[in-house]
Amino acid sequence: MHFSRDSTGAYVAYAGIPVESHGTLSLPIAVEHPGGAVDSVIVSIPVSSARFGTEQLSVDPRFTEKPDSALAVRIAHEAAAIRVAWEETHHTPQLWHGAFQRPRSSKITSVFGTGREFNGVVQSRHLGLDFDGSIGSTIRASNTGVVTLVGDYYYSGNIVVINHGAGIATAYLHMSKILVALGDTVTRGQLIGLVGATGRVTGPHLHWIAKYGAVSVNPMSLLTVTADPQKAPASRPATRPRGRTRG
């Protein structure tokens, strides 16, 4: 967890909880004081259960058949590259500031958490949001960060991952055109690509992902918690949290 001061002087950290979690989450937190003294506290956070529906989708059969050896290697290589992009966020200082924003103002056509049934077989859970859009419609960065992954991937199509630091990343999938390059620093609202139908899709749209490290979170919750200026951290993280904390 990455703590930083909010506008009230309290130390705040954001973290993601996996969709499958339930019950109570116990978090050990160490608070280091000047001189080296350390206080430890266990924070108990109740986790609410949620029920998610199922969507039935039809896609090109090649996306549901068992891949041959060459394709399996490609898929594994791409999955590893994406995992590295998620993990890198924990080694990056906070770059984002202010509230995160939607990458598109269009209608949400598929919500977070639903089970995905492709051609009659449940194969995955929808861990993002789908935004309506025609090919060539604009996609904008949800907050400031650094582009840490750009590519044309088998399932994701044309993908961009933005590292916002302090554990947070967002990803933008199925683009028709990418308008940023690896290593670019982007700002909130900057044009980064165009809606497309690349990868495993049923039609043109933007699939938007929010991550805390390797944990997928509902992007709408990221918008909600950062929209409150009393809860949003300052522009850089604290390295030695002291005083009261809240998570």
Calculate the alpha carbon distances from 84 to 42, 77, 152 in Å: 30, 11, 16
Question: How is residue 91 annotated by DSSP?
Answer: G
Confidence of residue 120 (pLDDT cuts 50, 70, 90): low
Q: For residue 158, give both structure tokens.
A: 């044309």
Domains identified in the chain and CATH numbers:
55-227 (2.70.70.10)
Q: Is 85 helix (H, G, I), strand (E, B) or coil?
A: helix
Going 187 to 193 to 194 to 197, the CA torsion angle's sign is negative
pLDDT(81) > 90: yes
Q: What percent of the chain has pLDDT over 90?
A: 50
Give the pLDDT score at 165: 97
Q: What percent of the chain has pLDDT over 70?
A: 81
Q: Averaging pLDDT over each range in 15-19, 36-40, 57-61, 115-119, which range is the top one? A: 36-40
pLDDT(117) > 70: no
Higher pLDDT, 237 or 119: 119
Give the pLDDT score at 49: 67
Give the pLDDT score at 54: 64
Give the pLDDT score at 239: 33
What b/e readout covers 178-214, taking b as 16+ CB neighbours within 10 angstroms?
A: bebeeebebebebebbbbbbbbbbeebbbbbbbbbbe
pTM here is: 0.81
Higher pLDDT, 166 or 31: 166
What b/e readout covers 60-96, taking b as 16+ CB neighbours within 10 angstroms?
A: eeebeeeeeeeeeeeeeebeeebeebbebbbebebbb
Confidence of residue 244 (pLDDT cuts 50, 70, 90): very low
Calculate the alpha carbon distances from 216 to 100, 135, 191 in Å: 16, 26, 24
Give the pLDDT score at 56: 61
Give the pLDDT score at 245: 30
Give the pLDDT score at 6: 80
pLDDT(233) > 60: no
pLDDT(247) > 70: no
Residue pLDDT, tens place only, 198-215: 998 889 999 999 999 999
Q: Is 82 helix (H, G, I), strand (E, B) or coil?
A: helix
Confidence of residue 86 (pLDDT cuts 50, 70, 90): very high
**Sequence-separated (6 or more) residues with CB below 8 Å from residue 1:** 13, 14, 15, 27, 29, 167, 247
Mean pLDDT, to the nearest integer, of 90-104? 95
Residue pLDDT, tens place only, 123-177: 567 788 999 999 999 999 999 999 999 999 999 999 999 999 999 999 999 999 9
Give the pLDDT score at 4: 85
* Average pLDDT over all residues of the chain: 84
